Amino acid sequence: MQMMRAMAISEPGGPNVLKQISRKIPSPNRNEVVIKIAYAGVNRPDVLQRMGSYLPPAGASDLPGLEASGIVFAIGENVTSWEIGDEVCALLPGGGYAEYAATQASHCLPIPKGLSLKQAAALPETYFTVWSNVFQRAQLKPHEKFLVHGGSSGIGTTAIQMASVFGSEIYTTAGTYEKCLVCEELGAKRAINYKEEDFLDVIKSIGGVHVILDMVGGDYIEKNIKALVDDGRLVQIAFLKGSKVGINLAQIMTKRLTVTGSTLRPQSDFLKTKIASQLYEQIWPFLGNGRLKPIIFKTFDLSDVSTAHLVMEKSEHIGKILLKVQQ
């Protein structure tokens, strides 16, 4: 029996509940591959899962970790798109905090030209999320005005760059001068320091925006609705300041607004496959020619994942936090 090193959640709680364990290497089902993981991404949903508020879907690994890069180690009997030894990055249903993880073969993508395995590990979760929400659901178009909250996060730095290559006019919020500067370097026309300015005042001064990507929730919702132009679209992907709010339905109706949102993990394998296919066709070329790039803040060893979670919770990072898995 082949065993692997993994980091498991011993009980719901703080970063210290992440404990190293030894577990059997997973086997692929007929449509899966098993990846020998080189690097894994750390994402906000991992923190929520650790705290006991974001349980994995039925059939998924109980280990945290929703994205990784590495080498195809084993393939299921129906898999023809990959061969053992191929380098891939992949969206995972869970299990990334380990030396090996299984995922649908169709949720894997090749490493973009010129990128390393380390850089590629920073792609799947944020690129799948931004593409599905901003471009599939909200239908952001060239020349439309786009506001992304949390512009210095992994999602934010990705959304700014993706909207930029498609010709949108981008505004963002961030909490420090340094973060705002990075956002503008990545393509934002204006980064708003929310500790010094009210983003609604700034957005009103430019006549409003067409699309908002929000992960804050709480009292931002009312402001977001006011910041949208007629026929505007608000996409909610998280709610750091709370999920329950009061809204003025009259504003939504009179301005013909669309309020939508999604979480990636519970979506069907079919929908995730569709996202992967569109990313490969429409986004991977921009990664290959350097117009898009992963922004990586810091890399920790898998055994130091508790520190990585502390950094995530402090929200002082710019871009992605990664784990180096193979010793």
- Tens-place pLDDT, residues 41-84: 999 999 999 999 988 988 899 999 999 999 999 999 999 999 99
Give pLDDT, residue 123.
Answer: 98
- Determine if residue 160 is left, alpha or beta; phi over 0 gives left, psi from -120 to 50 gives alpha, anything else beta: alpha
Question: Same structural domain for residues 172 and 273?
Answer: no
Residues 252 and 170 occupy one common structural domain: yes
104 and 69 share one domain? yes
Confidence of residue 240 (pLDDT cuts 50, 70, 90): confident
Residue 248 has what pLDDT? 86
Residue 101 has pLDDT above 80, yes or no: yes
State the Cα–Cα distance between residues 283 and 270, nearest whole angstrom. Answer: 19
- 91 with 176, same domain: the answer is no
* Residue the block writes with tokens 């969206």: 91
Contact by Cβ (8 Å): 7, 18: yes
Other beta carbons within 10 Å of 248: 11
User: What CATH number corresponds to the domain at position 298?
Assistant: 3.90.180.10
The token pair that represents 56 in the structure block: 């994995």
Checking if the pLDDT of 16 tops 90, the result is yes
Q: Which of the listed residues 244, 261, 278 is the one where a domain comes to its end?
A: 261
* Predicted local confidence at residue 1, as pLDDT: 72
Please write down the long-range contacts of 107-111, taking CB distance under 8 Å and 24 or more positions apart.
107/269, 107/272, 107/273, 107/276, 108/33, 108/35, 108/72, 108/81, 108/82, 108/276, 109/276, 109/279, 109/280, 109/284, 110/86, 110/280, 110/284, 111/69, 111/87
Total domains present in the chain: 2
Same domain, 177 and 196: yes
pLDDT in tens, 189-209: 999 999 999 999 999 999 999
Who wins on pLDDT, 279 or 315? 279
Six token digits for residue 126 = 């944020």
pLDDT value for 244: 83
The verdict on 98 and 190 lying in the same domain is no
pLDDT per position as a tens digit, 145-162: 999 999 999 999 999 999
Predicted pLDDT of residue 58: 87
Last residue of a domain, one of 261, 278, 312: 261
Q: Read off the tokens for 299.
A: 């890399």
The one-letter code for the residue type at 246 is G
CA 215-220-225 angle, to 5 degrees, is 105
Cβ–Cβ < 8 Å for 324, 305: no
Is the pLDDT confidence value at 239 over 90?
Answer: no
pLDDT attached to residue 326 = 87
Q: What is the CATH number of the domain that holds 135?
A: 3.40.50.720
Helix axes 154-165, 177-186, angle to 10 degrees: 30
Q: Do 214 and 143 have their domain in common?
A: yes
**Residue 3's CB: how many other CB atoms inside 10 A?**
12
**Is 80 exceeded by the pLDDT of residue 241?**
no
Same domain membership, residue 118 and residue 214 = no
Q: Are residues 136 and 255 in the same domain?
A: yes
**Could you give the percent of the chain with pLDDT greater than 90?**
91
Q: What is the pLDDT of residue 308?
A: 98
Cα four-point dihedral sign 143, 147, 152, 154: negative
Other Cβ atoms less than 10 A from the Cβ of 147: the count is: 30
Interval 14-19 mean pLDDT: 98
Q: How far apart are CA 180 and CA 185, in angstroms?
A: 9
Domain, as residue range, for 56: 3-123+265-324
Q: Pick the last residue of a domain from 207, 236, 261.
A: 261
